[in-house]
Structure formats: structure tokens, C-alpha cells
Amino acid sequence: GIQVEQSPPDLILQEGANSTLRCNFSDSVNNLQWFHQNPWGQLINLFYIPSGTKQNGRLSATTVATERYSLLYISSSQTTDSGVYFCANGGSQGNLIFGKGTKLSVKP
Amino acid sequence: GAGVSQSPSNKVTEKGKDVELRCDPISGHTALYWYRQSLGQGLEFLIYFQGNSAPDKSGLPSDRFSAERTGGSVSTLTIQRTQQEDSAVYLCASSQTINQETQYFGPGTRLLVL
């Protein structure tokens, strides 16, 4: 089946630092999305990015579909960025197949 | 509504009882999805609806699970004879159509089976 691998699994940053999260896919990229799950469990959609680069404030994402990977960049991290970041690729039913996530802790 | 809503937000039940979870998608979204997130596990896809139809129910964990959607809007996920391994957060998402669309998630229902 389709595999979605995320790295690193855990990341601890000092406030103000930058970071890069990576997602690799075993199958073609389709319907790729990045989410942030906050400490209360709410999943927030960050980017819909099957290809190319998008930016939203301090966050940006790049997907290289031909090489089956996507990157999420967080610049000038803040404590409110803490939580789990998931990437997800499209399955055969329009559903999303999620990676195991990167748990980010930003320390003040 | 402004976003996807789910109820109840928390549910504690005894093993063997039936539970019903509700999802109200974003108005106008034709596609609706149910996922489950267990402690320490990733997000597991359960079932999707295109309109009122669920073409493939193979993602449901067992025949104790069922789901329906009426009027192209609200969906209910029913778990009969609950087991402790059913304890999880049940998440609902909706998107405008079934393919190539951003999915928006509700806050989830936290189910604990004692």
C-alpha cells in the first residue's frame, strides 16, 4: 500500500530557530496536504500542495512530485508552533493517508 | 456552518454498549470522511461519503461499525457492542468534492470505552 514517511519523528527547537520537516512517499504524489495538530487535538490544514511551492507567513512548503517528497519550512519558530505536523497523500478513495507525524516542541 | 462540527466532544461508555457519533460538515461540501486516531497511532481512514453514498466500507475495522449520511449533510458513525480497543479520537473531515481538494477536519469525538 501507499507509504508516507515523515522525518524527524521528534524535534525540539529554541524559539526563533528555523526548521525543515520532510515527507517521503512510496507512490505518486496526489492530493498532498500538510496539517498541524495543536495540543488540543485540532487538525488545521496548512497547505494543499501537490506540486510547487507555497508560502503562508512564516510557513512555506515545497513538493517535488517527480522525486516523491515534500518539505515544510518553519522560520522564526514560536512556542505556538508546538504540536504535531502531519503530511498526507491521497488514497484511492479520495481519502488521505497520513504519515506518523513530526512532534515539534518549541522552547521559550 | 463556519467549520466542521462533531458531537459529542467526549464520550465515556461501558464495554458492550452502542454509541453514535455525529458529524456536521461544512455547508455545500459533498465529500465527507471519517478517520480514527488511537493513542500513539497515526490517523486511520475509516469510510467516505460522496453525497449520501458510501461506495466502499472496507476501511471499517469490523462489522460492529456502520455509518450513514442523510440529505447530503450530517453523518453518523455508529459503533455497536463497543470494545476497549475502540477507544480513540474519531475525526470527521469534509471537502468540496471527492478528489484533489483540501480536507477540513472537525475537533473530533474522544471515545473512551471502560
DSSP state letters, B3-31: S-EEE-SEEEE-TT--EEEEEE--TT--E
Tell whether A90 lies on the interface with B, counting CB pairs under 8 A: yes
Does residue B113 sit within a domain? no
Chain A hits for B98, CB-CB cut-off 8 Å, are 94
C-alpha cell read off for A40:
488540543
Task: Note the pLDDT of residue B40.
Answer: 67
Among chain B residues, the shortest Cα distance to A39 is held by B107
pLDDT band at B42 (very low <50, low <70, confident <90, very high): confident
Question: Do B113 and B82 form a contact (C-beta atoms < 8 A)?
Answer: yes
Stretch among A52-56, A69-73, B52-56, B89-93 having the lowest mean pLDDT: B52-56
Tell whether B45 lies on the interface with A, counting CB pairs under 8 A: yes
Question: Do B66 and B81 form a contact (C-beta atoms < 8 A)?
Answer: no
Q: Which of B103, B109, B111 to mutate to test the interface with A (most CBs of A within 10 A)?
A: B103
Q: A60, A103, A67: which is closest to A83 by C-alpha? A: A103
A22, pLDDT greater than 90: yes
Chain A hits for B105, CB-CB cut-off 8 Å, are 35, 42-45
Does residue B68 sit within a domain? yes
Does residue B70 sit within a domain? yes
Contacts of A57 (CB under 8 A, 6+ apart): none
* Cα separation, B44 vs B105, whole angstroms: 14
Place of cell 477507544: B87
User: Which CATH architecture describes the domain A4-107?
Assistant: Sandwich (2.60)
For residue B42, give the nearest of A30, A33, A98 by CB distance.
Answer: A98
Mean pLDDT score, B70-97: 94
> Which helix or strand (DSSP H or E) is residue A83 part of?
strand A83-90
Backbone angles phi and psi of B55, in degrees to 5: -70, -25
Cα–Cα distances (Å) from A97 to A59, B55, B65, B70, B105, in that order, read 22, 18, 20, 26, 14
The sign of the dihedral angle between the CA atoms of B14, B16, B17, B21 is positive
Residue bearing the bigger pLDDT, A27 or A63: A63
User: How far A92 CA sits from the closest chain B CA (Å)?
Assistant: 10
* Cα separation, B90 vs A85, whole angstroms: 18
> Which helix or strand (DSSP H or E) is residue B61 part of?
none
Tell whether B42 lies on the interface with A, counting CB pairs under 8 A: yes
Tell whether B101 lies on the interface with A, counting CB pairs under 8 A: yes
Q: Where are the domains of chain A?
A: 4-107
Name the residue range of residue B18's domain.
Answer: 5-108
Task: Note the pLDDT of residue A67.
Answer: 94
Tell whether A91 lies on the interface with B, counting CB pairs under 8 A: yes
C-alpha cell read off for B68:
450513514
* Cα separation, B102 vs B105, whole angstroms: 10
Q: What CATH number has the domain bearing residue B74?
A: 2.60.40.10
